Amino acid sequence: MGSMGFAWKVAWLAWAFILIRVIAALAAAAPPGAGATRSDSPSPAELRALDHLLERSGLKGQLETLSAGVRAQFLRGQLRDQDRITIDRIVLAHFNAEALYARMALELAHDVDAAKLTDTFAWYDSPVGRRITAVELAAARFAGEHDASVAPEADRPLPGRVALVERLDAGLGASETTVDITVAVVRSLVEAIQPALPALANLSRSQLDEQLAVARNRMLTVFKPAYIAGMVVAYQSLSDAELGAYLRFVESEAGRWYMSQTNSALLRAVDVAARATAAELAPALPPLAAELR
């Protein structure tokens, strides 16, 4: 699915631990004290159509990539074998692809627009829609194997191509959603280990929200250019005409509806998974808290 096509190109959970440090630094420096109508009950036919759309858009495959990436990031660093087994079991229980998909489908079923759903499926089922989905799935699987920053000068994309990809990113909400996913995980981790972090222990909920917002904006400023460059590389096999067709869909009424709904559903699913994971990991987090001091 387009809105998630590159959401896992960066090892984003590594950013999460960096972001915790940023929040702690901000807190230490801060002065003290500082839609559409929802469907009540979608018909069985609408639910089947929704499931077919999510399958066609590549959502299930990309959630598998997300699940594997989250597990890998939680297992980074020096861990005892027993700790590794425990952490992997907890993370897999909440971030497995099937659980994430089920949560997203449940969220999306609350707001099924039959006409927009039909138009969206028609796009993803078209030859160019299928081709773009395949390109995005391949990019997710092989994330990190290409570094756009070291491309030969002759291979540098033309400004018009970059501008086209920037418009796609804006319409897809891709880079912003990626950062927001990271923030959702960070929030859960911070809340779990907050008492053990001196710079964060005395923050109120509103103060923590404020520091998260500042850190989120800083992260987006740094992350977005690299993300755009990664999208340019990933889409290099597509013609300008194909990307133009994609952009027209993304900016259409049906495209805006689908991207908005799926991004929101993804964030809610990740938030649920992150909170459950952090709650179970809390007893094992003191070593992490000590590392972050």
CA distance 26 to 28: 5
Are 211 and 31 a contacting pair, CB within 8 Å?
Answer: no
Q: What is the pLDDT of residue 143?
A: 58
Q: Which of 154, 183, 151, 159 is nearest to 274 (CA)?
A: 183
Q: What is the pLDDT of residue 5?
A: 42
Are 34 and 204 a contacting pair, CB within 8 Å?
Answer: no
CA distance 122 to 117: 9
Concatenate the DSSP letters of all residues of 56-70 into one string.
HTTHHHHHHHHHHHH
Q: Which of 201, 197, 203 is nearest to 286 (CA)?
A: 197
Helices (H), 57-202: 59-74, 81-95, 97-108, 114-124, 127-141, 159-172, 174-193
Strand, helix or coil at 7? coil
Are 97 and 69 a contacting pair, CB within 8 Å?
Answer: no
Q: Is 33 exposed, middle or buried (0-12, 13-18, 19+ CB in 10 A)?
A: exposed
pLDDT digits (tens), the chain, 293 positions: 554 443 433 334 444 444 444 444 444 444 545 444 444 567 888 888 999 999 999 888 888 888 888 888 777 767 778 878 888 899 899 999 999 999 999 899 888 899 999 999 999 999 999 999 999 888 877 654 545 444 445 467 788 999 999 999 999 998 998 889 888 888 888 887 777 667 667 778 888 888 889 989 998 999 899 989 999 999 999 999 999 999 999 999 999 999 999 999 999 999 999 999 988 887 765 555 555 45
CA distance 200 to 186: 13
Contacts of 246 (CB under 8 A, 6+ apart): 2, 128, 132, 168, 238
Q: Domain extents for the chain?
A: 2-27+42-292
Strand, helix or coil at 134? helix
Q: What is the pLDDT of residue 2?
A: 53
Give residue for tokens 């299930």.
60
Q: Is 117 exposed, middle or buried (0-12, 13-18, 19+ CB in 10 A)?
A: buried
The tokens of 184 are what? 């959702």
Q: What is the pLDDT of residue 65?
A: 84
Q: What's the pTM? A: 0.78
Q: What is the pLDDT of residue 286?
A: 55
